[in-house]
Structure 1
């Protein structure tokens, strides 16, 4: 087998593997309910120290 055939097959295997990883992550992401997403975002915001500052920047 020539080196370019091996390189092509390796590239094809890499594309297929990345497609599987992306599909798995998308399925996992879509499994959350909107309420779960809101709760997670609020939790991250609280951990980031966002406190109670107004969103429009008014002091």
Structure 2
């Protein structure tokens, strides 16, 4: 069985739950809450997607 060692080092193991992301017309990614559908955060530092967050189609 695979392990994600060392545990407790502050990095994420697996995907973020309850979130998704989509790309805006300007090219930035925006994070959305899947339960309510509200937009939460826009990544303006770069045009790369959020790490560990599922992408919408």
TM-score scaled to structure 2, two decimals?
A: 0.22
Q: Which has the higher strand share?
A: 2
Please tell me whether Structure 1 or Structure 2 has the larger radius of gyration of its CA atoms.
1
TM-score scaled to structure 1, two decimals?
A: 0.22
